[in-house]
Amino acid sequence: MREFLALAKFLAGGLMLLAACGPPAPPSEDHRTIKVTTTIGMIADAARNIGGPTFEVVELMGPGIDPHLYRPTAGDLARIEGADVVLHLGLELEGRMGQVFESLKGSRKTVRAVGESIPKEKLLEVQGVPGKHDPHVWFDPQLWSIVVADIARALADRAPEQKSEIERRLADYQADLAALDGEVRRTVAQLHLEARVLVTAHDAFHYFGKAYGFEVLGIQGVSTAAEASPSDIRRLARFLADRKVKAVFVETSLSPGTVKALQESASSLGWKVVIGGSLFSDAMGDKGTPEGTYVGMVRHNVNTIVGALQ
Ligand SMILES: [Zn+2]
């Protein structure tokens, strides 16, 4: 009760002060929280790990959200408008938000397409589309380590007095990513080379395939904007039967319909393929679960893939 009275007195005093001298001046940037708005959760996760308490990080695309088709809501536009730092992946991942990022040019915000910090020669080209790069770079933790360094630079630009703290946390996070890469290599080593075939709902896993020696095929293309045709599905079903692939995978951010159609098509050819589990492709899992972090989502994926193909 005494505490309550003290608080009430403090608030009343504050109100009187406000009435007397108008609204207080906004605190300088050094002493307030710096607002960071990101598109995908994987970028937000890195920003939270690296930024520390000064940064308030929100992501627009939560669990189960497909970034290729995502259109910003009025609330999202307000969160972008209110942000000091806007971090998106770029490489045309957030295909329907281009105009929003375009409109921020010349604003006082720090706006970064962090995926585009990766040197071009390390990026994969989309098959049949020269000059267009595959945006799913987070599936190679070594490439993602380049991206998180860019996230750290964007945060440090906004809080230069915290640069050494940010760099220390970046080094810790990059060490976690290196450990994750080692863990994935050890898990994948349990699979015979000929069993390393990954068939998923859309073409999100080419960086994973390149890093860990998997042949990768998606029913839909690199973007989910174009639909798979029945002939695409029949061709893939024939491939599964010919190569005796044991399992295919659904994705948390896409409807399982096309994967089920593929399974039925393979069955009509006399090859029984199981759905090996659900992978986190373009969105992380629920907050508070292990898969709600970048490291946890990659770990879940590799354990699911290797478990089903063994
Ligand atoms: Zn995708």
CATH number of the domain to which 247 belongs: 3.40.50.1980
Ligand 1 centre from 285 Cα, in Å?
A: 15
Mean pLDDT (whole number) for 39-44: 98
37 plus 158 within the same structural domain: yes
Q: Over 80: is that where the pLDDT of 149 sits? A: yes
Asked whether residue 24 is assigned to any structural domain, the reply reads no
Q: How far is the CA of 281 from the centre of ligand 1 (A)?
A: 7
Cα 161 to ligand 1 centre (Å): 37
Residue 293 and residue 198 share a domain: yes
Domain boundary among 156, 184, 212: 184
Do 40 and 150 share a domain, yes or no? yes
* CA gap 230, 131 in Å, rounded: 28
Q: How far is the CA of 132 from the centre of ligand 1 (A)?
A: 14
Residue finishing a domain among 133, 154, 184: 184
- pLDDT over 60 (residue 121): yes
- How far, in Å, is the centroid of ligand 1 from the Cα of 222? 6
Query: Considering the domain boundaries, does residue 3 fall inside one?
Result: no
> In this structure, is residue 163 part of a structural domain?
yes
Cα(82) to centroid(ligand 1), Å: 27
Range of the domain at 206: 189-309
For every residue of 171-209, DSSP letters joined together read HHHHHHHHHHHHHHHHHHTTS-GGG-EEEEEES--HHHH
Spatial CB neighbours of 297, under 8 Å, sequence gap ≥ 6 = 42, 280, 284, 285, 291
Rounded to two decimals, the pTM is 0.88
The mean pLDDT of 49-53, rounded to a whole number, is 96
Find the mean pLDDT for residues 180-188: 98
Task: Give the Å distance between the CA of 88 and the centre of ligand 1.
Answer: 14
Phi, psi of 39 (to 5 degrees): -85, -80
- The Å distance, Cα 223 to ligand 1 centre, comes to 5
> Quick one: 102 and 213 in the same domain?
no
Ligand 1 centroid to 181 CA: how many Å? 21
Say how many C-beta atoms besides its own lie within 10 A of residue 222's C-beta.
Answer: 25
Please, what is the angle between helix 163-188 and helix 294-309, to 10°?
10
Confidence of residue 6 (pLDDT cuts 50, 70, 90): very low
* 124 Cβ neighbours under 8 A, 6+ residues apart: 133, 134, 206, 207, 210
* Gap from CA of 23 to ligand 1 centroid (Å): 47
Last residue of a domain, one of 184, 199, 216: 184
What percent of the chain has a predicted confidence (pLDDT) above 70?
90
Share of the chain above pLDDT 90, in %: 85
Could you give the C-alpha distances from 215 to 171, 195, 199, 209, in angstroms and in order?
32, 9, 8, 6
The reply to whether 120 and 254 lie within a common domain is no
Minimal CA–CA distance to 213: which of 197, 190, 236? 197
Residue 178 alpha carbon to ligand 1 centre in Å: 23
Name the residue type at position 18.
L
* Pair 301, 199 in one domain: yes
On whether both 177 and 157 belong to a single domain, the answer is: yes
Distance of alpha carbon 240 from alpha carbon 272, whole angstroms: 9
Other CB atoms within 10 Å distance of the CB of residue 106: 7
Q: Is-contact 115 89, C-beta < 8 A?
A: yes
How many domains, the chain?
A: 2
Kindly state the tokens that stand for 115. Answer: 């995926």
Cβ burial, residue 19 (10 Å; 0-12/13-18/19+): exposed
Confidence band of 31 (pLDDT split at 50, 70, 90): low
Spacing, Cα 138 to ligand 1 middle (Å): 11
CA–centroid distance, residue 204 to ligand 1 (Å): 5
Of the chain, the end-to-end C-alpha distance in Å amounts to: 64
What is the rounded average pLDDT of the residues 228-257?
94
Span from the CA of 282 to the centroid of ligand 1 (angstroms): 5
